[in-house]
Structure 1
Amino acid sequence: MTPKKLVLCLLGSFLITQAHAAAPDLAERWATLRAEQPKLQVRDAARALGASEAQLLATNIGKGVTRLQADGNQPREIMRAALDLGVVQAITRNENGVIETTGTASKFKQAGDKSEQGETKQKDPEQEARERNIAGGYLGGQIDLRFHFENWKYAFAVVQPGRDGKLTRSLQFFDAQGDSVHKVYLRNDAGVAVFEQIVAKFRLPEQSGELAVRAAPPKTQEKPDSQIDLKEFQLAWKDMTDVHQFARILREFHLTREQALRLAPAGLVERVTPQALRTLLEGAARDKVAIMVFLGNDGLTQIYSGKIEKTMEAGGFFNVLDPDFNLHIRDSALRSGWVVKRGGVTSVEFFDNDGVQVLSFFGVRERGKAQPQAWQDLADKLPRAK
Structure 2
Amino acid sequence: MKLSKLVLSLLGSLLIANATAAPATLAERWSTLRTEQPKLQIRDAARALGVSEAQLLATNIGKGVTRLQADGNQPREIMRAALDLGTVQAITRNENGVIETTGVASKFKQAGDKSEQADAKQDPETEARQRNIAGGYLGGQIDLRFHFENWKYAFAVEQAGRDGKPTRSLQFFDANGTAVHKIYLRNEPGVAVYDKLVATFRMPQQSAELNVLAVAPKAAEKPDAEIDVKEFQLAWKDMTDVHQFAQIMREFHLSREQALRLAPAGVVERVTPEALRTLLENAAKDKVAIMVFLGNEGLTQIYSGKIEKTMAAGGFFNVLDPDFNLHIRDTALRSGWVVKRGGVTSVEFFDKEGTQVVSFFGVRERGKPQPQAWVDLADSLPKEK
Residues 351 and 358, structure 1, Cα contact 8 Å, conserved in 2 = yes
The amino acid that maps onto 1:109 is K
C-alpha distance in 2, partners of 1:247/1:288? 30
Q: How does 1:124-203 map to 2 (within 5 A)?
A: 133-203=132-202
Residues 309 and 319, structure 2, Cα contact 8 Å, conserved in 1 = yes
Match in the other structure for 1:7: none
Which structure is larger by alpha-carbon Rg, 1 or 2? 2
Question: Which has the higher mean CA deviation after the structures are superposed, 35-44 or 305-314?
Answer: 35-44
Match in the other structure for 1:101: 101
1:42 is aligned to 2:42:
yes
Q: Per-residue displacement from partner, 1:164-189 (whole Å, max 9, x unpaired)?
A: 21100000000000000000000000
Q: CA deviation at 1:219?
A: 1.2
Secondary structure of 1:34's counterpart equals helix
Q: How does 1:280-299 map to 2 (within 5 A)?
A: 280-299=279-298
Residues 23 and 59, structure 1, Cα contact 8 Å, conserved in 2 = no
1:273 is aligned to 2:272:
yes
1:31 is aligned to 2:31:
yes
C-alpha distance in 2, partners of 1:39/1:343? 46
Secondary structure of 1:111's counterpart equals helix
Distance change (3 Å), C-alpha of 1:22 and 1:98:
farther
C-alpha distance in 2, partners of 1:22/1:58? 20
Q: Per-residue displacement from partner, 1:75-104 (whole Å, max 9, x unpaired)?
A: 000000000000000000000000000000
Match in the other structure for 1:91: 91
Distance change (3 Å), C-alpha of 1:141 and 1:32:
same
Q: How does 1:234-313 map to 2 (within 5 A)?
A: 234-313=233-312
Residues 172 and 179, structure 2, Cα contact 8 Å, conserved in 1 = yes
Residues 73 and 131, structure 2, Cα contact 8 Å, conserved in 1 = no
Q: CA deviation at 1:33?
A: 1.9
Residues 105 and 141, structure 2, Cα contact 8 Å, conserved in 1 = yes
Residues 336 and 348, structure 2, Cα contact 8 Å, conserved in 1 = yes
Match in the other structure for 1:379: 378
Distance change (3 Å), C-alpha of 1:90 and 1:23:
farther
Q: CA deviation at 1:112?
A: 5.8
1:51 is aligned to 2:51:
yes
Structure 1 runs, 4 residues or longer, greater than 3 Å off: 21-24, 129-132
Secondary structure of 1:341's counterpart equals strand
Match in the other structure for 1:68: 68
C-alpha distance in 2, partners of 1:151/1:291? 28
Q: CA deviation at 1:305?
A: 0.2
Secondary structure of 2:111's counterpart equals coil
What RMSD in Å do the two structures reach over aligned CA positions?
Answer: 1.7
Q: CA deviation at 1:132?
A: 5.7
C-alpha distance in 2, partners of 1:278/1:268? 23
C-alpha distance in 2, partners of 1:276/1:58? 40
Match in the other structure for 1:324: 323
Secondary structure of 1:137's counterpart equals coil
Q: CA deviation at 1:22?
A: 9.0
Distance change (3 Å), C-alpha of 1:245 and 1:22:
farther
Distance change (3 Å), C-alpha of 1:275 and 1:241:
same
The amino acid that maps onto 2:375 is Q
Distance change (3 Å), C-alpha of 1:174 and 1:264:
same
Q: Per-residue displacement from partner, 1:164-218 (whole Å, max 9, x unpaired)?
A: 2110000000000000000000000000000000110000011011111001122
C-alpha distance in 2, partners of 1:248/1:171? 32
Secondary structure of 1:165's counterpart equals coil
The amino acid that maps onto 2:246 is A
C-alpha distance in 1, partners of 2:194/2:290? 32
Residues 24 and 59, structure 1, Cα contact 8 Å, conserved in 2 = no
The amino acid that maps onto 1:228 is I
Distance change (3 Å), C-alpha of 1:330 and 1:366:
same
Secondary structure of 1:240's counterpart equals coil
C-alpha distance in 2, partners of 1:23/1:338? 50
Q: CA deviation at 1:26?
A: 1.2
C-alpha distance in 1, partners of 2:253/2:356? 17
TM (norm. structure 2) is 0.89
Q: CA deviation at 1:313?
A: 0.8
Distance change (3 Å), C-alpha of 1:84 and 1:144:
same
Distance change (3 Å), C-alpha of 1:80 and 1:220:
same
C-alpha distance in 2, partners of 1:135/1:215? 28
Q: CA deviation at 1:34?
A: 2.1
Q: CA deviation at 1:32?
A: 2.1
C-alpha distance in 2, partners of 1:306/1:33? 40
Give the percent of matched residue pairs that are identical in Structure 1 and Structure 2: 84
Q: CA deviation at 1:43?
A: 1.8
C-alpha distance in 1, partners of 2:375/2:278? 14
Task: Give unpaired runs (5+ residues) of structure 2.
Answer: 1-20, 114-127
C-alpha distance in 2, partners of 1:264/1:23? 55
Q: Per-residue displacement from partner, 1:81-138 (whole Å, max 9, x unpaired)?
A: 000000000000000000000000000012369xxxxxxxxxxxxxxx9766210000
